[in-house]
Amino acid sequence: MTQIAAERYTGASVRRSEDPRILTGQGRYVADIKLPGMLHAAFVRSPLAHGRVLAVDVSAARAVPGVVAVFTGADLEAMTVPGPELLLSLMGGGGPMPEYTLLATDKVRFVGDPVAVVVAESRYLAEDGCELVDIDYENLPPVVSAASALDAGSPPVFANLGDNIIGPHKRSEFGDVTGTFAGAARVAEFHIDVHRHQNVPMEGRGCVASHDAACGVMTVYAATQSVHVTRMGVAMRLGMEQDKVRVLAGDIGGSFGLKIGASREELAVAAASRALGRPVKWVEDRVENLTASGQAREESFEVRAAVGDDGVLHGLDVKMVIDTGAYPVMGTMVPTIIEMMLPGPYKLAALGFESTAVTTNKASYVAYRGPWASETFVRERVLDLLAKDLGLDPLEIRLRNVAPRTDPPFTMITGRPLVGVTSKESLERIAQVVDIPAFRRRQAEERARGRYLGIGLATFIEAAPGPRSPEGPSGPMGLEHMRLRLADDGVLTLFTGQMPHGQSHQTTLAQIAADEFGVPFGQVRVVVGDSDVVPFGLTGGSRSATMTGGVTLHGARQLRAKVLDFASHLMEASARDLEITAGQVLVRGDPDSAIPVGEVARQAASGQFGADVDTNFEVEASFDGGEGGWSGGSHCAIVEVDVETGLVKVERYVAAEDCGALINPAVVEGQIRGGIAQGIGAVLLERSAYDQDGNYQSATFMDYLLPTACDIPRIEIVHLETVPLDADVNFRGVGEGGMIVAPPTVVNAIEDALTPFGVRIYEQHLPPARILELIAAADLG
């Protein structure tokens, strides 16, 4: 009797199913799509930050051989249904909505604002056409800073709003703010700035829209984080029934929050396809991506901190201003999350928070990996600044403030319980992995030689998806759905609304399904990217590990139960005594009884069984997140600052992470390292810069600098023992954490390196020139 053994996949670094095609150039990205009769679009974009459009003359452009059509903003208004931006209307930041047209008609509001679209036989010809579109603008004074936008006299970016303050100016208080500040041993004040930077996926935005007039169906090949949300956006704007819009997505070259819904350009392209009766492709180039796709993180904070002489932070009072650029969408929602997350895993007793969102003549604020990340930056910067004032070590001040794991769990003053949070353990783990006292000795020796090394720490938690709440599903965006089907070839297919763009879902979900259902990994297929076929879903918010991992686990178990119920008829055994192992259905302990699961499925499909026997091997499962939970951890960086040039080298980087149970350690670690790289990039290299006239200055990779293989060190990752909260689903999200906590980790280290100069840092972007300025200013002060 040979035993049938099953390989266990969950928890193993199973090689990715995606890779054979990726590594051989067989991936299929939007730019790779070719359809018969396909045309190419290019956009005419505003060269001004703020202006009135007086006249648009497209006659010369239309005359270019190979140019098939030119649509102005006015044309597109006639071709589409006017209305508010999809995401804004779905998530509603509150307050009056700015009114604007799909492409600019009467006004342009940022450099790069699309004004017209040229459709031609090739992208080369379309760009030739764009150069010949003649537009008369009246220059208007641009509003280029939050400070000027706050001025009631600044020219309104949106006429219907009257001024440039767009977010409700609301103050919340949690705990006894007044009393806490009145009774504090010390009150410190800081102004902290986070600079504008952006997603920059290696693949920009783009789509191919193909309208079939004969059956009234619009097919959009998209690069998106959700085919369903894109479908909603297209249907809404084109005035079509959702089921007449089909959105397909293949491989996607990264997104980091950028590619959600349908952009103004994509909607214009869809409308053009419908008007022309031919497929139209638009692939944004790098200048467009950097200038016009959207930017993030431009926020400033007035912070008051009520602290004891022992370094315990009792209260924070924060006033935030967020610059949401022109055409604000995401920006109005970010302050709410920041407010909720500011206390972090600390015993903060009181929080006052108010925020103001302004609109300016810059690219729109979009979601960028951990959109609320500034709460961790502010909190972890403040702790270090307080530690310095009090003569405390950065590890020590955090240990004094971190909430220990108690039962019932400590609750953040803003309401969420810190159930299962291992922040204290993560700090202790850092101290084990990094010999901090030895570093301090080395630091002192090197200082004597004129070399400046520094060490920085930071701690974070992330609601990935967050703890179970009485209100409903863990985390935002509701229940997660999945359809699972066993075919009569024995292949288990998972249909999910997840839309991987680097997350490796086609591997990780198959690992879970293989384990829970009982088939080999290679016998599971994950279907994504077809709005006609997959249930609603969105990849984002670090939700998929828990939500999709969980629905896969439970759905696979449900389907297994169904199959075994049926098999009990086939095999004349009780379902209780049956199992599915390595793709075989067998009586437990009797390998000779094994039947391949495909054979069982074929029997079920044969029609031999009565109506009382369930032979439909398909399950529609949904999952509410179970007990949910937090992800989090502590990071530590050691840097060297060359105080003559301002160049910073990250010598060592350690991440002590708790992201629950790991589905695929290699995938998890890749996500963590990628996020950390973006955080290092933000501090040392990346800035979306505008001059005082609103001209965009970081429009190519010569000026918007991304970190390279020489900028990111080997990142050591230690996984903490997680606290299981749920009986079954303890996978937690990890996609955003690295990007959230790396910036303060690195800034803290730089400030530590510059301690001998008396430097204090209240900002996130530290290019070499800035470091020398900080040193010089501290010398003078």
**Helix/strand/coil for 349:** coil
* Region from 4-12, 108-116, 422-430, 685-693 binding another protein, contact rule CB under 8 A: 685-693
- Choice between 93 and 633, CB closer to another protein: 633
The yes or no reply on residue 344 touching another protein (CB under 8 A) is no
Residues 6+ apart with CB under 8 A from 59: none
Among 4, 23, 54, 444, binds another protein (CB under 8 A): 23
Backbone angles phi, psi at 195, to 5 degrees: -90, 165
* Region from 103-111, 224-232, 418-426, 702-710 binding another protein, contact rule CB under 8 A: 702-710
The C-alpha angle with vertex 493 and arms to 490 and 497, in degrees rounded to 5, equals 175
The yes or no reply on residue 390 touching another protein (CB under 8 A) is no
The yes or no reply on residue 275 touching another protein (CB under 8 A) is no
Contact between 292 and 47 under an 8 Å Cβ cutoff? The reply is: no
Structure tokens that stand for 63 in this block: 């005359």
CB 502, min distance to another protein, A: 4
The yes or no reply on residue 733 touching another protein (CB under 8 A) is no
The yes or no reply on residue 131 touching another protein (CB under 8 A) is yes
The yes or no reply on residue 692 touching another protein (CB under 8 A) is no
CB 122, min distance to another protein, A: 8
CB 274, min distance to another protein, A: 25
- Integer Cα distance of 576 and 88 in angstroms: 51
- DSSP letters along 71-86, please? EEHHHHHHHS-----H
The yes or no reply on residue 444 touching another protein (CB under 8 A) is no
End-to-end CA distance of the chain: 83
The yes or no reply on residue 522 touching another protein (CB under 8 A) is no
CB 664, min distance to another protein, A: 8
411 to 430, contacts with another protein by CB under 8 A? none
- Integer Cα distance of 451 and 439 in angstroms: 13
Cis peptide before 465 (omega within 30 of 0): yes
CB 43, min distance to another protein, A: 13
CB 646, min distance to another protein, A: 8
- Choice between 81 and 776, CB closer to another protein: 776
- Choice between 11 and 216, CB closer to another protein: 11
172 to 211, contacts with another protein by CB under 8 A? 200-203
* Region from 14-22, 141-149, 327-335, 399-407 binding another protein, contact rule CB under 8 A: 14-22
Q: How many residues bind another protein (CB under 8 A)?
A: 77
- Choice between 122 and 616, CB closer to another protein: 122
**Block residue for tokens 């208007």:** 140
304 to 323, contacts with another protein by CB under 8 A? none
The yes or no reply on residue 66 touching another protein (CB under 8 A) is no
Structure tokens that stand for 349 in this block: 């007793």
CB 202, min distance to another protein, A: 4
CB 37, min distance to another protein, A: 15
Among 52, 170, 244, 286, binds another protein (CB under 8 A): 286
Q: In what order do the strands lie in the sheet with 39-45?
A: 67-72, 114-120, 39-45, 280-283, 206-212, 217-222, 245-248
Fill in the DSSP letter of residue 368.
-
* Region from 43-51, 331-339, 349-357, 704-712 binding another protein, contact rule CB under 8 A: 704-712
Per-residue burial over 628-647, b = 16 or more CB atoms within 10 Å of its CB, e = otherwise: bbbbbbbbbbbbbbebeebe
- Choice between 702 and 727, CB closer to another protein: 702
Per-residue burial over 228-257, b = 16 or more CB atoms within 10 Å of its CB, e = otherwise: bbbbbbbbbbbebeeebbbbbbbbbbbbbb
Among 52, 62, 123, 170, binds another protein (CB under 8 A): 123
26 to 55, contacts with another protein by CB under 8 A? 26-29, 31-32, 34
- DSSP letters along 26-37, please? ----GGG---TT
- Choice between 586 and 741, CB closer to another protein: 741
What radius of gyration, in Å, describes the C-alpha atoms of the chain?
Answer: 28
- Integer Cα distance of 551 and 475 in angstroms: 14
- Choice between 81 and 706, CB closer to another protein: 706
- Integer Cα distance of 532 and 535 in angstroms: 8
The yes or no reply on residue 501 touching another protein (CB under 8 A) is yes
Residues 6+ apart with CB under 8 A from 361: 49, 50, 109, 110, 111, 142, 143, 144, 157, 325, 326, 694
Residues 6+ apart with CB under 8 A from 483: 494, 495, 534, 535, 555, 618, 619, 620, 621
245 to 264, contacts with another protein by CB under 8 A? 251-254, 256
- Integer Cα distance of 748 and 444 in angstroms: 17
- Integer Cα distance of 116 and 45 in angstroms: 7
648 to 677, contacts with another protein by CB under 8 A? 666-667, 669-671, 673-674, 676-677
Contact between 547 and 508 under an 8 Å Cβ cutoff? The reply is: no
The yes or no reply on residue 646 touching another protein (CB under 8 A) is yes
Among 160, 178, 242, 645, binds another protein (CB under 8 A): 645
The yes or no reply on residue 449 touching another protein (CB under 8 A) is no
The yes or no reply on residue 697 touching another protein (CB under 8 A) is yes
Among 7, 134, 243, 285, binds another protein (CB under 8 A): 285
